[in-house]
A and B are shown apart, each in its own frame.
Chain A
Amino acid sequence: MKATLVRRCIRHSLKAAPLLWPVLLLMVSCARHVDTGEDANVTSRGSFEVTARLEEIRGNLIDDPMYDYAHVMKYEVLRVHRGQIPEDTMYVGHYNPAKPRDRVADARVPEIGGNVRRFRVGDLHRMALEVPIDEHYMGGIINKYFGEIEDPVYWAIWTNKVAQ
């Protein structure tokens, strides 16, 4: 009786295996894979590439379809992948930050993007950058650090999320 039950269990498990294996593989894969935000765009665009933690967003992000602007945000630099960035803190201007990065490019700024959907303090971003912002972007800038910092403001070309 006991042996029959065991045999039946094994038979059922084998029947369900084709369905279970992909789920198990996906789980293992997810557990091992860390999303570093690396992709062909972030590693090739701009002169600088960093992984950084979004430390502060001063002021509200304005979502006004009538007007475009860049909003300067404060980052803690965790790793510099390309270029020389001497400071641990950097200031980055993001174009129309209320929009997801994959939908932000427009007639004024055609070649920017990424996969960040929302800017949240504490998130890690891998970014392709240029500096100074004025040499790469001509438009309104909300810089709540104006008059307070001497640091250059970087211009975000590509912004990907990094899984923590």
Chain B
Amino acid sequence: MNPTRVLWLAAATGVLSACMAFGAQDQRIGQLAKEVAGKGWIVYAARSAENETWDLFVMRPDGAQRRNITNTPDQEEGGPRFSPDGKRLLYRRFPKGTVIHHDLWGFQGNLVIAAADGTNPVEIGANREHPWASWSPDGKQIACLTLKGIQVLDLETKKIVRQLPRKGIYQQLFWSPDGQWFCGVANARIMWTVVRMDAATGALNVVHEFQSCTPDWFPDSQHIIFPSRPAGQKGYGFTQLWMSDGEGKEPTMIYGEDGYHIYGGALSPDGKYVLFTRCRDDGGGSEKSGAPICIMRLSDAPAIGGPSPALRRLHPGAKDAPVLELVDGWEAHWTYAEIGVKE
């Protein structure tokens, strides 16, 4: 056969294979979108196209039925969390023009509790009060991380009913769904260590050291999801999404992609799906306009996106998981409850 013809044939085969692979990947993403479409709602903060401030939005997990539930041109909102029963939301409200700092937002602005559809927002406390608020399992209390310690506030009486030493935890406190633990970011042997605290005794254990942050609970209260930027990467490196059990044994990567920082890790209420953001900039993008919110199946972990040759060498068993990319946003949270948003 003519050598030129052989080359053309090889190139055409390559292009065809790539198209088929992309087509297959598209099909897998489509299947994932169908699978999650009817599974409740996702709430997240994003810049409003109308007023350019940060507002809160909800959408179905396939990205459908997106709507702005705060729509406040004179304020910024962020950090929404559904209550465990999915009936209410807590979030923070900031003065218009506030730069929402990815590490400071829990200290910034006012704590607000509203109905899950964003109606009836009520400010709880003053500016900068009740920092890093997190729901108790029954939704009647919130735990806050203050300089004085971890404070448990009763929402009906607005009284602090309990206080524990914070033992070096300095941001991103979350109460476990079973109420037995807290997780957060602490100064332990080194800073940026994800820790777990026994909510009854205050005993603390290290979950993951070194450049790890924004931890959150799995629904089983036994595992923790957290972003981590491991050592040994070329240059500054990229933040990946990891998980570990509460004792810090056998940490494993969930998703990584060289060129992107993966933040905002959270689980669906049944623990089958993972929410995260995929951002070119470190920090998750709260200072600008967020980053694409993504969904993947936990059963597809560990997964690697993009070419990421160095990462693939480190994790040879990682998969090419279908990742459903939704809209740009920040700090998304998921409920399976029907939240009463009007169609």
Chain A positions within 8 Å of B, measured between CB atoms, are: 66-69, 107-108, 134-143, 146-147
Contacts and interface: CB of A to CB of B under 8 A. Distances in A.
B260 to A, nearest CB: 16
Given A66-B282, A67-B103, A108-B104, A134 B191 contact: no
Contact of B147 (A66, A138, A141, A143): A138
B283 interface: yes
Contact residues of A: prevailing secondary structure: loop
B168 interface: yes
B171 A68 contact: no
A141 B104 contact: no
A67 to B, nearest CB: 7
Given A66-B282, A68-B103, A107-B107, A142 B147 contact: no
Given A66-B282, A146-B189, A136 B147 contact: yes
A107 B187 contact: no
B190 A138 contact: no
Given A67-B103, A136-B147, A147 B189 contact: yes
B67 interface: no
A18 to B, nearest CB: 53
B147 A140 contact: no
Interface of B: 101-104, 107-108, 145-148, 166, 168, 170-171, 187, 189-192, 282-283
25 contacts: A66-B102, A66-B283, A67-B103, A68-B103, A69-B191, A107-B101, A107-B104, A107-B107, A107-B108, A108-B103, A108-B104, A108-B107, A135-B147, A135-B148, A137-B147, A138-B145, A138-B166, A138-B170, A138-B171, A139-B171, A140-B192, A142-B190, A143-B187, A146-B189, A147-B189
Contact residues of B: prevailing secondary structure: loop
Contacts of B104: 107-108
A146 B283 CA distance: 27
Contacts of A140: 170, 187, 191-192
A137 B145 CA distance: 12
Given A66-B282, A67-B103, A139 B190 contact: no
Given A66-B282, A68-B103, A108-B104, A142 B191 contact: yes
Contacts of B192: 140
A146 B168 CA distance: 13
Contacts of A68: 103
A140 B191 CA distance: 5
A107 B103 CA distance: 11
Nearest to B99: A107
Nearest 6 A-B pairs (CB), nearest first? A140-B191, A141-B187, A138-B170, A138-B147, A139-B170, A107-B104
A135 to B, nearest CB: 7
A69 B170 CA distance: 11
A149 to B, nearest CB: 14
Q: Which of A136, A139, A140, A146 has the most CB of B within 10 A?
A: A140
Contacts of B168: 134
Given A138-B171, A143-B187, 17 more contacts: A66-B282, A66-B283, A107-B101, A107-B108, A108-B104, A135-B147, A137-B147, A138-B170, A139-B170, A139-B171, A140-B170, A140-B187, A140-B192, A141-B191, A142-B190, A146-B189, A146-B190
